[in-house]
Amino acid sequence: MPQLHVENVTLTFGGIHALRDVSLVVPEGEIVSIIGPNGAGKTSLLNCISGFYHPTSGRITFGPHDLSRAAPNVVTSFGIARAFQNLELFRGLSVVENLLLARHTHLKYSLWNSMLFYGRASREEAEGRAYVERIIDFMELEAHRHHPVGTLAYGIQKRVEVARALTLAPELLLLDEPMAGMNVEEKEDMVRFILDIQREQGITVVLIEHDLGVVMDISDRVYVLDFGQRIAGGTPAEVSADPRVIEAYTGVPGTGVAGESEAAQPEQAPQVVGA
């Protein structure tokens, strides 16, 4: 059953069309990847889903909720969390402090309520701490819990960023290039975490990722954007065989024969899937 519906979404900035009439569905429990060359509109689409941008036209719904005009905090309250491409962490605070802070902003009680209903506030805080501990355990961050985030290796910081999003207990997790800048070992770890998030936690995942080998390995469904338009969508096998996708990545019209053109980038072309 589709959980997230993006219907005919267009987003313009002055004369620039970041998105043109894009439609896609994200079924509950799937890993759905959005790929495309640089500037294709991937992050713009994620920004529309998470409420940072509002579509110029079109509609985005998540279950019964209309996200088209919702603010980011409202989108979060519907059960959608996002891990950012550029880390949104407090570098001077420890891992635990970052996660508690993120969780705290999610708690329902206000300062006024917490003064009026002290018992409820402290119970919610205790539950929040227990929840954060489970996330630390799940994301294998125990060894780093008291270290300031800024002192951790980049791959661990990216893991903390995903953990930060998980503290919001989402039904849908948006991951914007979670493996960018990682070495092979760090990527393998992140792939394992993403699969566990889907399979063990039952969380739907929307993934933007440039590593097409990873995308094709772990996605249930892949959508391809190019110049703001959706040019393909389907299973990894369908998408990687689609001539329009190969052309978008290689510049070689329709044939899928990467490497015949100066413009071709064989290492980025979908036909290297699984390599």
Ligand X SMILES: Nc1ncnc2c1ncn2[C@@H]1O[C@H](COP(=O)(O)OP(=O)(O)OP(=O)(O)O)[C@@H](O)[C@H]1O
CB of 36 to ligand X, least distance (A): 5
- 13 belongs to the binding site for ligand X (CB under 6 A): yes
Least gap, CB of 146 to ligand X (angstroms)? 33
Instruction: Pick the stretch among 42-50, 152-160, 235-243, 258-266 that binds ligand X (CB under 6 A).
Output: 42-50
Q: How far is the C-alpha of 259 from the C-alpha of 250, rounded, in Å?
A: 8
Near ligand X by CB under 6 A, which window of 13-21, 139-147, 248-256, 261-269? Answer: 13-21
Out of 4, 6, 18, 232, which residue is the one contacting ligand X (CB under 6 A)? 18
CA–CA gap between residue 165 and residue 78 (Å, rounded): 14
Q: Which is nearer to ligand X, 177 or 242 (CB)?
A: 177
44 binds ligand X (CB under 6 A): yes
Of 88 and 137, nearer to ligand X (C-beta) is 88
Nearer to ligand X among residue 43 and residue 250 (C-beta) = 43
Residues 22-41 that bind ligand X (CB under 6 A): 36, 38-41
Residue 164 CA, chain-centre distance (Å), reads 13
Q: Which of 42, 144, 164, 221 binds ligand X (CB under 6 A)?
A: 42
Task: Please name the residue that has the structure tokens 């635990």.
Answer: 96
Interface residue with ligand X, options 22, 24, 26, 43 (CB under 6 A): 43
157 touches ligand X by CB under 6 A: no
Q: Minimum distance between the CB of residue 24 and ligand X, rounded to whole angstroms?
A: 14
Q: Which is nearer to ligand X, 39 or 213 (CB)?
A: 39
Select 172 or 224, whichever has its Cβ closest to ligand X. 224
Between 43 and 271, name the residue whose CB sits nearer to ligand X. Answer: 43
Binding site for ligand X (CB under 6 A): 13, 16, 18, 36, 38-44
